[in-house]
Structures are given as C-alpha cells and as structure tokens.
Amino acid sequence: MKVLVTGATGLVGAALVAALEPKHEILRLTRGVPRSGAELRWDPEAGALDAHALEGIDAAVHLAGESIGGRRWSASHKRRVRESRVRGTRLLCETLAALELPPRVLVSSSAIGWYGDRGDETLTEDSASGTGFLAEVAREWEEATAPAGDRGIRVVRMRTGIVLAARGGALVPMRRIFGLGLGGPFGRGRQWMSWIALDDVVAAIGHCLTRDSLRGPVNAVAPGAVTQREFARTLGRVLGRPALLPAPPMALRLVLGREMADELLLASQRVEPRRLLATGYAFRFPDLEPALRHVLAR
C-alpha cells in the first residue's frame, strides 16, 4: 500500500512512519526542501501542492498543524493554529478529490477539544460539539475534509486525546515539574482527562486505515479516562515523586492567560472510544499506570 503522510516529523507522524515503513511505501509531504523521492513539497499558505505527484496513492494520513500548546495564545498564534489546520486540510482534500484515481481512505487528525469543557458528561462520537476556541478550530478542521468525502473517499476524523510519549507532548513538562518535587493536579483536580499512549495512537490509525466500516469521527482515547487528581497521583507514583501541590487556577491563568489555561488545563472531557472498540480494536494500554510505566520505561 502506498500511504501519503503529512506531519511526518511530528510526535505522532514520526512514530507512524516508523511503524508503516517496513510493510508500506510512504510518501511524506514536507514544507521544506525534499531530501529524497519519498518526500514532496507543499505550501498550504500559498495553496501549492502537486496533484500529479499524488496519483497512485492508496491512503492518506493527515497530521500536520501548528502546535496548540507550544506558546501563549496571542491573537497571531491562535490565527496560525486555526489556519494551519483549516487551510492545510482543505488544500489536501481538494487535491485528493481532484485526482483521477483518489485514495480509498483518508485519516485526518482532529482533537477531543471538539467537545469543549463538559464536566462529568460521558462523551462519545455522537455527542454534540462544545464551545470555546479549541472547539471552533476542531469544527472548522473537520469541515475542511468535506471535499474528500464528497468525492467518495472514506474519511475518518480522528479526535485524539492527550498523547502520552517519552520524548514529546504533555509528559515532557510534567516530568520536569514532578522531578523538582512540585507535581500535583491542575486546579481542583476534579476535571476529567482523556489520554492515549503513543503506541495506541499509531495502532489506531492503522486500524482505521484497514476497517472499511469506520468513517466519520473516531475518538482516539484510552477507555480509562481519569481525573486530574488521579492522573497526578499515578504519575507521581510511577516517577517516585510527590504529587501534593495543586496548581491554583488563578496562577495558571496568570502564567498562560485565562483562555489557554481554561481550555487546555482546566477543561473536563470524559471521552469514550466507542467506535474503535465496536470495530474490534484492542488497546495495548487501556489503563493509565501500565501506560505511563511503558512510556517512561519505569
């Protein structure tokens, strides 16, 4: 199978390419100068993508987008976050739709931010969208896949939770804080966290590529959502460090800004992966502590 991958140098993309390469031919889209015949340059801001070079691909996995948590949410950063997702997705999907022989399937990244802050509500793929910046971005992000779906491509919109990985993502700053003995939950610790181990993200993408019955939204989260308090206690136990110091909401808002703190750290999202489970996906790490011990080699 020939698979097109965007965002191939990111946390999930690099792991996905490493998993797929032994059995499949991979074509990477890059914004830089292509270094081999396995790379193709594109420029979403300029609307530039060579459709002819995509003829013959069997599947596409779209993971590219500006980092959401990499810096404080200024107006310019929020604009880049939105445009990098919406423009890139629309360009890719319009290009795939125009191919003489389009791919059979597109797995396009999204996020559980789609649901917004929902308290103790159990959220499935059928739950309504929420409010806030992240929910707005996710809605536009998913809507941008419409040209591919209209062309008859099977489109999976993968709503990913917090990815647990040793060399990237949320665990890196958390590990530093816990290492200093300053670990603890964000806010009151009652909000729900929906997480997934990197190994399961990669395997779930593979599952979505090969299950013809899967289309539309798919929640990429482990079945064992936990509260912030439980997450902090478990991470502290795995690292052998205390987890006693909660970060007050006011302090988080002062450091990050109210909007970023409220949506990234204080929002509650209790998400279930119903469609993955219903189609036979078996999670490698359904529970938090074994997942953290695996990821952190503990």
Q: What is the pTM of this model?
A: 0.95
Angle between helix axes 228-239 and 288-295 (nearest 10 degrees) is: 40
Identify the domain containing residue 234 by its residue range. 2-295
216-220 and 154-160 as β-strands: parallel, antiparallel, unpaired? parallel
Work out how many domains the chain is built from and give that number: 1
Taking only the tens place, the pLDDT of each residue in 73-128 is 999 999 999 999 999 999 999 999 999 999 999 999 999 999 999 999 999 999 99
State percent of the chain over pLDDT 90.
Answer: 86
Residue with tokens 């199978």: 1
> pLDDT value at position 244?
86
Give the CATH number of the domain where residue 84 resides.
3.40.50.720
For residues 231, 17, 97 and 278, what is the CA-based torsion angle, rounded to 10 degrees? -50
Written as six digits, the tokens of 214 are: 């899967």
**Of 204, 222, 198, the residue nearest 156 (C-alpha):** 204
233-282 per-position pLDDT tens digit: 999 999 999 998 899 999 999 989 999 999 999 999 999 999 999 999 99
